[in-house]
Structure 1
Amino acid sequence: MSVLAQLTAALADGSVEVVDLTAPLSETTPVLQLPPPFANTQHFALHELSRYDERGPAWYWNDITTGEHTGTHLDAPIHWATGRDGLDVSAVPPSQLIAPAAVLDASAEAAADPDFLLQIDHVQEWTKTHGPLPDGGWLLYRTGWDTRSGDQEDFLNADDSGPHTPGIAGECARWLAEETGLVGVGVETVGTDAGAAHGFDPPFPCHAHLLGAGKYGLTQLQNLRLLPAQGAVVVVAPLPIVGGSGSPARVLALVER
């Protein structure tokens, strides 16, 4: 039996499960909010063209408006100034869109401290237990933040001092970008950086370091709790927007049960 035939058989009999890591995309999907004078993306919206009526008697369809970085989405290198000479989302090699994943669970730490930052030591301790990070694969950073995704205010968790969401320390972001073979980092929060990352040096270090190194970001993931620490394969399906800095994406994980 061929490898692909084995895979389809495993999918059919349930020995390989497909886990959807994608947040539903609707007008209530939380979006990033930047302070003035910076421009903000718009919420997702459907604009009905016809619904089995005089505008189209046998069909229902819509136009949509949304931002590239709305909901579960992929950040391409060109999204950030450090990656301005890198790939746009249409040029991401298909071979990099299917890759192994390591899942690092810091949900307990984030529950205790919404400003929790992942440090190099945390990742190195994780590898002692679970093995090395996958070359050409993803580090998926679980914080439990997907449980807040039904409410914009709770998801962004902002006060007068700014948003408070967990993320990755600047030195750890640099280390992941420069010292590992990862293809990118995925998170459950609205962006790959912590809520307070505007005050880091450099600001927004996950964007600056990872995208500057030609790697990718995945945001607003869900259901990471259903994945093993090692062994899942992630399938990322962004729209191939020519010149696009990113795209909403359907993100699936294949898990051997």
Structure 2
Amino acid sequence: MSVLSSLVEEIRNGAIEVVDLTAPLSSETPILQLPEPFGNTVPFRLTEISRYDDRGPAWYWNDIVTGEHVGTHFDAPVHWVTGRDGEDVSQVPPAKLIGPAAVLDFTAHAARDADFLLRIEHVQAWEKVNGPLPDGGWLLYRTGWDARAGDQAGFLNADETGSHTPGISVECARWLAEDTPIRGIGVETVGTDAGAAHSFDPAFPCHSFLLGAGKYGLTQLRNLDRLPVTGAVVIAPPLPIVGGSGSPARVLALVER
């Protein structure tokens, strides 16, 4: 049996589980809110064209309106000024959309402190137990934030000082971009940076360093609790939008059971 035939058979018989890491996309999907004078994305909207009626008696279809960075989505390097000469989302090589995953669970830390930041020493301590971060793979940062995904206010967790969501420190973002072999990071929050990252130096360091290094981001993931610490394979295909800075994505993981 060929490798691909074996893969299909193992998925069919349940030896390999396909885990959906994607949040459902609807008008209720939480979206990023930037303060004035910055522009904001539109929420997702579905507009019916016909539904088995006089507009189209045998078919149902819709127009959709959405931003590139709404819901579970893929950040391409060109999304940030530091990656402005890098790939747009249509230029990302397909082979880079599939890779091994390392799952770092800091749910308890984020539960105690909504502004918790992942630091280099946290990742290095994880590596001592689980081995090095995967070459050409994804660091998936679990914080339990997906439990808030049905509530815009709770998901953004904002007050008069701004949003309070967990993220990654400036030093760790630089280190992940420059000194580790990962292809990108995936998070459960609305963006790859912490809610308070607008006040960091540089601001939004995950965007600045990782996209500037030609790496990628995945956001608003869920079901990371169903993945092993190592061993899963992530498949993260965005729409190949020519000139696009990102795209909604259907992110899947293959897990041996």
**In which range does the TM-score fall when normalised by the shorter chain?**
over 0.9
RMSD value, Cα:
0.4
Whole-Å separation in 2 of the counterparts to 1:59 and 1:15:
37
| Map of 2:255 onto structure 1 | 255
Q: Secondary structure of the equivalent of 1:29?
A: coil
Whole-Å separation in 1 of the counterparts to 2:199 and 2:215:
23
Figure out how many residues of one structure are paired with residues of the other and give that number: 257
| Map of 1:56 onto structure 2 | 56
Give, as a single letter, the amino acid of the residue that structure 1 aligns with 2:143.
Answer: T
Whole-Å separation in 2 of the counterparts to 1:227 and 1:132:
17
| Map of 2:203 onto structure 1 | 203
2:183 paired with 1:183? yes
CA positional deviation for 1:6: 1.2
Whole-Å separation in 1 of the counterparts to 2:130 and 2:157:
32
Q: Secondary structure of the equivalent of 2:136?
A: coil
Whole-Å separation in 1 of the counterparts to 2:202 and 2:169:
11
| Map of 1:111 onto structure 2 | 111
CA positional deviation for 1:9: 1.0
2:152 paired with 1:143? no
CA positional deviation for 1:53: 0.8
List per-residue Cα deviations over 1:200-247 (Å, max 9, x = no partner).
000000000000000000000000000001000000110000000000
Q: Describe how 1:1-257 pairs up with structure 2 within 5 A.
A: 1-257=1-257
CA positional deviation for 1:131: 0.8
CA positional deviation for 1:2: 1.1
List per-residue Cα deviations over 1:154-177 (Å, max 9, x = no partner).
000000000000000000000000
Q: Secondary structure of the equivalent of 2:250?
A: strand
Whole-Å separation in 2 of the counterparts to 1:128 and 1:108:
20
List per-residue Cα deviations over 1:9-51 (Å, max 9, x = no partner).
1101100000000000000000000000000001100011011
Q: Secondary structure of the equivalent of 1:175?
A: helix
Give, as a single letter, the amino acid of the residue that structure 2 aligns with 1:234.
Answer: V
CA positional deviation for 1:5: 1.3
Q: Secondary structure of the equivalent of 1:74?
A: strand
Whole-Å separation in 2 of the counterparts to 1:2 and 1:60:
39
**Runs (5+) with no aligned partner, structure 2:** none
Give, as a single letter, the amino acid of the residue that structure 2 aligns with 1:40.
Answer: N
**TM-score of the two chains, using structure 2 as the length reference:** 1.00
Of all paired residues, the percent bearing the same amino acid is 74
Give, as a single letter, the amino acid of the residue that structure 2 aligns with 1:193.
Answer: D
Whole-Å separation in 1 of the counterparts to 2:71 and 2:182:
23
Whole-Å separation in 1 of the counterparts to 2:3 and 2:51:
43
List per-residue Cα deviations over 1:138-166 (Å, max 9, x = no partner).
00000000000001000000000000000
